[in-house]
Structure 1
Amino acid sequence: MQELEKIWMNGELVDWADAKIHVGSHGLHYGSGVFEG
C-alpha cells in the first residue's frame, strides 16, 4: 500500500501529520457505530 504525504481536508491539501479532527466530530462519533453491530 502506498503511503500518502498529504490528504484532502476541509477543502485543502494538508500534511498527513497535521490532519486532525475533533474527538466530538459527527463522522468519528457516529461513523464508528458500524463496528458495534
Structure 2
Amino acid sequence: RNLSLAIKEIEERGRANEDVLALLEFIKSSKRGVCLGR
C-alpha cells in the first residue's frame, strides 16, 4: 500500500488518537522522507 493513500484513509476515518495524529504530522512535514518507497 502507498503511504500517501494510507495517510489519507486514516485521516478520512477521523478516529485517530493523538499519537497517530502526531505521527501523521511528522510524516507529512518530513523533508527527507520517513520510509523507503518499496
Q: Give yes or no for TM over 0.5.
A: no
- The structure with the greater share of residues assigned to helix is 2
TM range (shorter): under 0.3
- The structure with the greater share of residues assigned to strand is 1
Structure 1 length-normalised TM? 0.25
